[in-house]
Amino acid sequence: MKKVWIFFFVCTLLLGLSPKKIAEIEAKVQEEGRLRFTTPPRVVFIEREAFQAILKGERSREGRILEALGIIENARQYDELKIKMMLTSAVGFFNPEEGDRIYIIEDLPPLEQEFAFVHELRHYIQSQNFPDVFKNVVEGSLCDDKVIAASAVLEGDANLVTLRYFGIDEFPMDFSMLKLPDNKSGNFLRSIYSFIYGEGYKIVKDRYDREGWRGVFYLLSHPPEHTSLFFLKPYGKAECSCSSPFTVGMKVYSLLIGKLADDLKADCLCIEGHRFHGRLVFTGEGSAILAYEKISGKIEAERLDNVIKIKGEVKNDSSHPGEKGNDP
């Protein structure tokens, strides 16, 4: 079964939290964020080796799709890099599909564990009060626009509560701490996670400053479908001839065509067996011409006016455990 993990990354070093301290944190987080849980979570302290064992069984289809689109170079190396990033940077996590527990990495300084618990506790509370927002995250991957957009709202809210809990006025996250290589996979992960945590915090904080918690709760109950919202641009769904098309979106396509992604107004992508096909719709023919020049040669593409049609192969990697045959 696919698992989705909501992680918290800490960029500075600040064992175990006592039951009394856990209870104090739970009370303060509920009060600070104006939301309460129905039942308290199980707090599980996990060794990093056990965390590694969990992650080694995780293989995403997103790597193969991103490779097919020419956004990364190698899906297997991408998966390995993503696991390494999580192992070295994450200090706590929450799996909404389990729903009843929060994991904290053992043998960390007390303040770092407290940061992790506060952040993941907010995700736990989100899951009980706004369960629908997690559906987009659980059912998709990081090449799906609605997953990135929903994740940004979830992380923005959790970061807001965490910073308020500790009395911090400025968002301190520095994603250079992830120590990702300067290649396509590293650039993709750095860009996407910087967006989810950084831009997510900005949009939630702006809504909080203007409307208070009422505005934040509206975002959580009506998560955006597209990352274009964060750029104050409209976006739509292009027509694709398959039963379950999804939108890749401006943010992911910016890793392929750069600033030209700002001129996208719709897209769709279909994955059917080993093949993919999709459409990118631009606001004008000029942008489509320039984007076509960047795309052609990397993936199969043809242009008609302001629309680029793409197609190609999604490679299957049978060395990835837990995946069935040729099903991407």
Alpha-helical regions (H) of the chain? 19-33, 48-56, 62-68, 75-89, 110-129, 133-139, 145-166, 184-194, 200-211, 213-221, 249-257, 285-295
Burial of 232 (0-12, 13-18, 19+ CB in 10 A): exposed
DSSP string, 195-208: IIIIIHHHHHHHHH
Specify the pLDDT at position 205.
96
Specify the pLDDT at position 17.
86
Could you give the CA distance from residue 23 to residue 14 in angstroms, rounded to a whole number?
21
Q: Region 275-297: what's the mean pLDDT? A: 96
- Name the residue with higher pLDDT: 36 or 4: 36
Which one-letter DSSP state was computed for residue 40? P
Burial of 249 (0-12, 13-18, 19+ CB in 10 A): buried
Residue 49's pLDDT band (cuts 50, 70, 90): confident
Residue 61 has pLDDT above 60, yes or no: yes
For the stretch 242-256, pLDDT in tens is 999 999 999 999 999
For the stretch 165-177, pLDDT in tens is 999 988 776 766 6
Structure tokens at 246: 């999804």
- Name the residue with higher pLDDT: 168 or 325: 168
- Name the residue with higher pLDDT: 297 or 145: 145
Residue 301 contacts residue 309 (beta carbons within 8 Å) = yes
Could you give the CA distance from residue 20 to residue 2 in angstroms, rounded to a whole number?
34
- Name the residue with higher pLDDT: 61 or 290: 290
Specify the pLDDT at position 246.
95
Specify the pLDDT at position 9.
47
Alpha-helical regions (H) of 57-199? 62-68, 75-89, 110-129, 133-139, 145-166, 184-194
Specify the pLDDT at position 240.
93
Specify the pLDDT at position 315.
86
Specify the pLDDT at position 11.
37
Summary mean pLDDT of the chain: 88
Structure tokens at 151: 């994740």
Residue 162's pLDDT band (cuts 50, 70, 90): very high
